[in-house]
Structure 1
Amino acid sequence: MKMLCPHCGRKLPPKAINIAADLAQCPECGRPSRASACVVENEVNQDVLLRPPPGTWLRQESDAIVVGATMRSKAAWFHIPFTIAWSGGSIYGIYGTQIIERNFNLIMSLFSIPFLIGTVFLIRIAIYMLFGRQEWRLDEDGGAVFNGVGRFGKRKRFAWKDLTRVHLHTTRSDENEDAIGFKLILEGASPKVEVILPGREDRQQFIVNAIRYYYQQWQRRK
């Protein structure tokens, strides 16, 4: 990812950039900037597209270019055992005792509803961490981005002609300031398309380069 000082235009070396703090300081002019503001938005690295990293794909179909990446995450190693322990303990504590004692307790069963909802939510996250994917279908007019598992998920559509800017936005977790993520934002689309990118940097760069490349191809044709 190429990064330039927004004040003097000089290229920033890696040691001048702190992604975790979203801070960069130019060694030439000495002025600080937000790291996310230093990213060269229109740069495209075609080598990334020619050699897709593991867990990504690019294929030509009859009516579209398909660009995708798995959303598998290492966090699943923590999340799945936690889900099993939390959900199993909650369900057993509420329903297991009733089954063993053969005594239905309405109040306790009603009290368990929030725990059941939480269990379903945690299981959905676990499935997404294991089998989730992000896939962009791009054609001459625009495209659609899908986030989900199998055929279940959310789909957002956009048209090239509506876009005014394609850029990255840094996100931070409220619970953990060191947890940095990136959104790809397509401004001008109605509604605006904001997509959380895969956790791995090589997959992020693959998706970003692909969208910028095909957007630039459309701009040259118009």
Structure 2
Amino acid sequence: MHVHPVDMLRDVDVVVSPINVFLALPEPYKSSVSASLRRAGAVQAPTGEVLADRIHDELRAWASQHGALGRPVAPGTVTPTSAGALADQGIRRIYHAAVAVPRSGTNDYDVLPADITRAAARALALLAEEQHHFDPPLRSVCFPLLGAGRGGLPYETSISALWAAVEADLARGAEWDIHFVVRNPAAAALLEQLPARIRPETALSATRRSG
């Protein structure tokens, strides 16, 4: 578990980032997880001028290639991009998890726990697909609490929805290093209680793999 801003992560292969179903990143000056990753992944001049908005540009290229520019994808869709300048911190991939559905006529979003579970499962499946395309192979993945920001979900709801996918993958024999990143001490306290809620056989299996 990491208790600090997401852009301070180091040496985690993949970071999962929440995004809306239109695959539209927020402006980089905002404070969300996706805005922070966009800002940190951009190539900047010494003066702070953005020379290349890599994550934004790659996400738009993916949407264009898949016919999704200007239209929503299905909730739970996961779109991979490079980590841009975050590669200097040992981050190799960003998986953008489309879990936020804009509420018409407002600045708010709806996020369903089932879509979080679906996106987390897809992120782990994509990690398995891409694992051996990299040298060394991808092994670690970090989740923020999807839907617990603008999506308005309680921390515990997000944690439970994420863990449903993680636990199922571990039970099938996956050997990932699973990380969580939060900024709020209350969220960290709930995550610290997670091992007590894991079935004994899954906890033992996860402990052995992480060692």
| Fold match (TM-score > 0.5) | no
TM-score (norm 2): 0.24
Structure showing greater relative contact order (alpha-carbon pairs closer than 8 Å, 6 or more residues apart): 2
TM-score (norm 1): 0.24
